[in-house]
Amino acid sequence: LCGRELDGYLTVARDGLIATADTRAMELLGGQPVGRPLRRYLPRLIDHGVPIETLVGQRLETELQHESTRFRPVEVEVHKAPGGKAVAARVRLTDISARAERLAELERMALHDALTGLPNRALFHDRVRQAIASAERHGEAFVVMLLDLDRFKQVNDTLGHQIGDRLLQAVGPRLGAVLRRSDTLARLGGDEFAVILLPPVDIDHAAATAERLVESMREPFQIDGMALDLGVSVGTALYPEHGPHLEALVHNADVAMYKAKRERLGFSIFNAEQAQGSARRLTLQRDLRPAIEQGEMEVLVQPKVAVAGWTVSGAEALIRWHHPIEGLLAPDDFLPIAEHTGLIMPLTLRVLNDCLKAQLRWRDAGIELPVSMNVSAKWLRDREFP
């Protein structure tokens, strides 16, 4: 706004009736307001019987009721009227619709995922807390689901982030189509999504919905003439049976999702047995970093033998973890954890350095053997790895 040329001005009598209104004020109010109570136009600011003098000296944001009964956001500033006993106050009205729209858009951007337009992690957490508060009042149950896309990383790594982004944009409508209007679908980040099923809901309804979510991903996605296959793993937790608060519900849904993904079940509903497995996984996750740094990892070498002549033509590196409590752990016990936490990078470097040191010792002994090792796909995006 440039100066005050877009503001409207009123004077108000001591009885609360509008005494005068300029052209802009009449435009904002939708007609000639003289002789009408100011409360008619500012019902959310002025209570019945409250004198206008109580607002003198204040600048407030409220909503102005137009003659058409629609509301618009305004800023109201009230000053004591100069001279005269009949007029109690002079009121400035400023239309702040554009400012309110900008603030609403900023709030929307802060609470929604920029790529898909779905609620983001912050809004998802807020809605879970609201659902808990409502469920406590009414003695109801609701469901939290965590979803992780299957095979998305392969597509993203192979075809690039642009195709991956378009794929994520197509996933939202596909998943949302099987949910009720009252339910929430959110994107937490990467290829992770989440769902809140509001009451009425029970474990059977949750299982049926999870199954529909899995089925919704069966059909390939058509992107730039390519048919791209994805799947989804769904973990489900029911309030209050599987957790009394946000952290417990999200954690237990994640545990169930991890089980569904690891065992290729499609979906899984949390139970106590999974909780025990989760505790073990958390313990291994906690111990993995120091194990890599302190040399608890052992690299074994498996020879490659050429059938013709039965000669050793190379070797493959295999890793084992000498855990101080669990004993000797195979890769299946800890490599998925390393991938999930980002520790696969330092673990790979540790194995690679051990292999190079071994080859140096062999060379000193007159043995030349190539060694192969498995590498995470994450390294393919790391320019430093070569």
- Catalytically active residues are 191
State how far the Cα of 349 lies from the Cα of 47, in Å rounded to an integer: 71
Question: Kind of pairing, strands 226-228 and 231-239?
Answer: unpaired
Residues 6 or more apart from 161 whose CB is under 8 A from it? none
Q: Distances in Å between the alpha carbon of 10 and those of 6, 48, 58, 314?
A: 14, 19, 15, 92
Please answer whether residues 27 and 39 qualify as being in contact, where contact means their C-beta atoms are separated by less than 8 angstroms.
no
Q: What's the full length of the chain, in residues? A: 386
Residues 6 or more apart from 355 whose CB is under 8 A from it? 299, 317, 371, 373
Please answer whether residues 147 and 257 qualify as being in contact, where contact means their C-beta atoms are separated by less than 8 angstroms.
yes
SS3 (DSSP) at 251: helix
SS3 (DSSP) at 70: coil
State how far the Cα of 267 lies from the Cα of 145, in Å rounded to an integer: 10
Tokens 């509301």 — which residue?
71
Token pair for 62: 């409220």
State how far the Cα of 138 lies from the Cα of 127, in Å rounded to an integer: 16
DSSP string for 303-315: EEEETTTTEEEEE
Q: Distances in Å between the alpha carbon of 47 and those of 51, 81, 222?
A: 9, 21, 59
Output the CA torsion sign for 359, 363, 366, 370. positive
